[in-house]
Amino acid sequence: MRKDIKNKVHTGHMGINACLRRARDLVFWPGMSKEIRQFVETCDICAQHGYNKQPKEPLISYPLATRPWERVAVDLFVINERNYLVTVGYFSTFFKFDYLTDTSSSTVITKLKHHFVRHGIPDQVVSDGGPQFSSNNFKAFSTAWGFQHILSSPGNSQSNGAAEAAVKVAKRLMKKCASAGEDPYMGLLNIRNTQTESMTTTPTERLMGRKPKTILPTKQNSHTNVRNQRRH
């Protein structure tokens, strides 16, 4: 039973601290923290990819957004010769990644429309101003859908830090799950429903205001008020 829980907590091969936060929110047994720490430290997949000693988690909440989906960041990345679009909310740090059949502006716009229909149109979209986002097609999209397109500083990827952080997490997740023969979507579900460092809510709670069902036990009180959630 404990081994099964530890496997589920470590789905997506998150780091020690994230796994501990995930477990403490849902389960308990004497010596649990020590067992989970040892379990992650001895994970062959994490050791293979050099992430046993992970850097400080990059997905943080940004002060420029005061409500879910008010401001989102977007970026493209490549892994295993496949192109993906990442979209992340500044308030929630909830991120999505979409496989792109091509990197044209119209394909990127279609993916974003799917997200905007589901979660609403953001006030601002931040990008690095790549060709997909600097095109007349994307300009027309922003005008028609009524959002402000903000370009990050040229040559400074850190100015689009929310997207850069999400790309790092997405790449790490996909590489580890591929090595382990695991479902990356199950790993993504686990990441989205793990409390963010120094906060008491998960990205999903901050975006959707509820705790969805996962492969781990879910509390009966699945709805939460996260509007005023702030870092300690």
Half-sphere exposure of 133 (CA within 13 A, CB side): 17
Name the band, by pLDDT with cuts 50, 70 and 90, for residue 202: very high
Average pLDDT of span 31-41: 83
> pTM here?
0.74
37-51, 64-78, 198-212: least confident range: 37-51
CA 152 from chain centre, in angstroms, equals 20
pLDDT at 60: 45
The predicted-structure confidence for 119-163, as pLDDT tens digits, reads as follows 999 999 999 999 999 999 999 999 999 999 999 865 545 557 889
Name the band, by pLDDT with cuts 50, 70 and 90, for residue 62: very low
Dihedral sign, Cα of residue 61, residue 66, residue 69, residue 75: negative
Place of tokens 């943080």: 60
pLDDT at 230: 47
CA dist 161 → 75, 149, 180, 183, 202 (Å): 10, 16, 29, 27, 19
pLDDT value at 179 more than 60: yes
Q: Between these two residues, 13 and 177, which has the higher pLDDT value?
A: 177
Q: Are 13 and 43 in contact (CB under 8 A)?
A: yes
